[in-house]
Structure 1
Amino acid sequence: MKAHEYQAKEIFSRYGIPVEQHVLCSTPDEAVTAFRQLGVNKVAIKAQVLTGGRGKAGGVKLADSETLVRQHAQEILNITIKGFPVTRILISEAVDIAAEYYTSFTIDRNARSVVLIMSAAGGMDIEEVARKTPEKIIHCNIDPLIGLPKYLAQRFAFTLFKQAEQAKRMTTILQDLYKAFIENDASLAEINPLVLTAKGTLRAIDAKMVFDDNALYRHPDVQALFEPTPEEQLEATAKERGFSYVRMDGDIGCMVNGAGLAMTTMDMIKLYGGSPANFLDIGGSSNPVKVIEAMKILLNDSKVKAVFINIFGGITRCDDVAIGLIQAFDQLQTDIPVIVRLTGTNENIGRKLLKDSNRFQVAETMNEATLMAVKSVKGETL
């Protein structure tokens, strides 16, 4: 689950991480009122959307008068950033920046630990820094049995700051950020940029937090912040119906029983030059209702041009699966090609039932089925 910047800053503030003054607004009039309330000479007007790249997309602007605040607020509230319409903006005190840094905690699955990532080249080009000059990115794995005591935080702080006073402040920020990360079961806690002001203070002028969905039941206060994107809402709906679903960018919808087989199916589609539209594990049931619900999820994606149903009949018999599919498609109206590969218990009976129904393209092997799916999308003759 992702949090908006203003929500992440609220959490940061509770943990003592210094952030600038800010007010959340949804109209130009509210933005002007916020400018007056803050009582500062200049403000930053920032789009609140659950995606990065706001600055480059025109979603962050500076203003030093009520006229400019109103103008920029109206402009930003009228744009869409990476498919996300801007409905709210944050009016923040503009900070006199002397230097920008990057700091985050996330999960290093290879090391099975939290990793601290820092850079003295923070800001909106941090991805470019990581790509072109990776030596500027510092990685420090955190032993889960030790955590981040002061002596370690101080050691890490001195890798960015040579002056004792600044390193001391950074030490506190690192410990507070780590505490916020751990106590909220986050998978990411990021400050970019963490700025050194002209007066020598450190401020988190942007904030990002992503939380582990599986731990949200332990944090009702965090769950209350959830504002799902359309994709997240779809994944949540699938979960409620007993599926594991992740949307992707391709055009071949996949319905598979078993996570390992689902991963293999996507690999095979890529191998044959196709592109999977999703990961969808429906589990072991041949229940027609479940198949209908799964197909509704797949067909809800306008990019899907073919559906590849890949079933291994172990405990679940292939003839039961075939009957379930036929009953399900009696209720579904679609012109999209549906390719089915059945293997396992009673596979021959299941295939015959599907072929006799004249609704499906039936394959015996995964290679054959994958090729049929890819060719059907490309409009090639089978």
Structure 2
Amino acid sequence: MDLYEYQGKEVLRSYGIPTLRGRVVETPEEAARVAGEFGGTVAIKAQVLTGGRGKAGGIRVVGGPEEAARAAREILGMDIRGHRVRRVLVESGAEIARELYLSITVDRREKKPLILFSTEGGVDIEEVAERNPEAIVRLHVNPLLGLLPYQVRRITFASGLEGGTAKGLGRVLNGLYEAFCGSDASLVEINPLAVTEEGEVIALDAKVTIDDSSLYRHEDLAGLRDVEAEDPQERRAKEVGLQYVKLDGDVGILGNGAGLVMSTLDVVAQAGGSPANFCDVGGGADAEKIATALEIVVSNERVRSVFFNIFGGITRGDEVAKGLLAALDRVDVELPIVVRLDGTNAEEGRELLAQNAPENVHTEETMLDAARRTVELAQGR
């Protein structure tokens, strides 16, 4: 679960990380009033669950209430990467001397938290890694030992900061690691982490992603979820217990098992197509679950064809075929559907589909052949 910037900053403040004064508003009039209270220069920042706000014009630095109202009026309602801005954060200004980058994420290969630090803040870390990889410090933390003093010193030494400012960076790093562990986050990122003219170290931005599977331990964080901002297909899938992630392509994908679905995404890409989603219906899915999954996948207007990929281990191919036929009786799908059945009773399943399925349903024996045909149908060939 991603948090808005203002929510992420609330989490960081609870672990002792300094931020600027800020208040979330939903109207230009409120923005003007808060700007007047803060006085001087303020920033008007779109609150959306995506990056690229600055490049899209979703962040403005203004000099007073009237400019704040005008900026808020222009930003509210803006579409940023498919996310509509419904509120803005009005934040007080500061004299910034330097901008740094600091984050902690999960390195799944090493099975450890990974600290990333760079003296080049305010830009995407991927851009820094490509242009100047030596500018990034990477440190793994042993989860049994926690963040150790020598690792904090390694980061502060790399920063080039001295005295009280270096100690301030150390306190931020310790607080960020505590926030990462304490909130069961998969990512905590401050970009930029600012050093002010007075030597203070302040989080100018905050990106926090909480592991969904841990939310039962964090009722306060679970209550921060903005249901209205979620993708409608992903929200519907979550309600019915399906594993679904929306992507940018036009080939809808369903499969039984997360590993198989991930492989299906790769094979579709190999065949020259672009996956529209990840959707795992699970083992032993009945007609009701298959029908619901189909409804969700085809409700995405970008989808031009559907690849239904099933490997029968415990699940029998003929039972899957019966479930799919029953689902098609319930769901009116006009898009072409390619079904690949393999494993237990796969031949019987394909025979059932050949005899009883609508004309828009096609069967293939191999995953690669099915991927190629699905891509061809999506492209109108």
TM-score (ref. length: structure 1): 0.94
8 A Cα contact 1:322 1:351, kept in partner: yes
Does the aligned pair in 1 maintain the 2:286–2:323 contact within 8 Å? yes
Aligned residues: 379
Give the superposition deviation at 1:6: 0.7
Work out whether 1:186 is the aligned partner of 2:185: yes
Supply the AA of the counterpart residue of 1:137.
Answer: I
Q: Shift of the alpha carbon at 1:222? A: 0.6
CA distance in structure 1 between the partners assigned to 2:68 and 2:189 by the alignment? 27
Equivalent residues of 2:325, 2:357 under 8 A apart? no
CA shift, 1:126, in A, is 4.2
Residue 164 of structure 1 corresponds to which residue in structure 2?
A: 163
SS at match of 1:158: helix
What value does the CA root-mean-square deviation take over the aligned residues?
1.7
- The whole-number CA distance in structure 2 between the counterparts of 1:200 and 1:341 is 62
Aligned equivalents of 2:370, 2:260: Cα separation in 1:
14
CA distance in 2: counterparts of 1:33 and 1:337, whole angstroms: 55
Task: Note the C-alpha offset of 1:41.
Answer: 1.3
Alignment partner of 1:370 is 2:371:
yes
* Residue 8 to residue 242, structure 1, CA distance change in 2 (3 Å): closer
Name 2:30's counterpart in structure 1.
30
8 Å contact from structure 1 (residues 100, 122) kept in 2: yes
The one-letter code matched in structure 1 to 2:185 is: A
CA contact (8 A) 1:116 1:140 kept: yes
- For structure 2, the residue ranges without an aligned partner over 5 or more in a row are none
Residue pair 1:150, 1:175 contacting (<8 A) in 2 also: no
Distance in 1 of aligned mates of 2:243 and 2:46: 32
Query: What letter is aligned with 2:27?
Result: T
| Inter-CA distance 173–341: structure 2 relative to 1 (3 Å threshold) | same
Equivalent position of 1:116 in the other structure: 115
Supply the distance in 1 between the matched residues of 2:320 and 2:208 (Cα, whole angstroms): 42
Q: Does the 8 Å contact 2:83/2:229 carry over to 1?
A: no
CA distance in 1, matches of 2:128, 2:366: 46
Counterpart AA for 1:32? A
Quickly say closer, same or farther: Cα 1:145–1:123, change in 2 above 3 A: same
Deviations along 1:93-149, whole A, 9 cap, x unmatched? 111111111111111122211111111110135442222111111111112122124
Residue 221, structure 1, aligned to residue 220, structure 2: yes
Matches of 1:145 and 1:322, distance apart in 2? 48
2:61 maps to amino acid: L
Q: TM-score, normalised by structure 2?
A: 0.94
Using a 3 Å threshold, how does the CA distance of structure 1 residues 137 and 229 change in structure 2: closer, same or farther?
farther
How is 1:1-382 mapped onto 2 (pairs within 5 angstroms)? Answer: 1-38=1-38, 40-228=39-227, 234-359=233-358, 360-380=361-381
Task: Provide the identity percentage.
Answer: 44
Contact kept, 8 Å, 1:286 with 1:320, in 2: the verdict is: no
Find the residue that maps to 2:262 and give its secondary structure: helix
What CA deviation, in whole Å up to 9, does each residue of 1:318-376 have, x standing for no partner?
22222221121112212101111222333232222211124121222223322221221
CA shift for structure 1 position 286: 4.6
Contact 1:55 1:124 in 2 (8 A): no
Cα pair 1:53 1:124 within 8 Å, conserved: no
The letter of the residue matching 1:8 is G
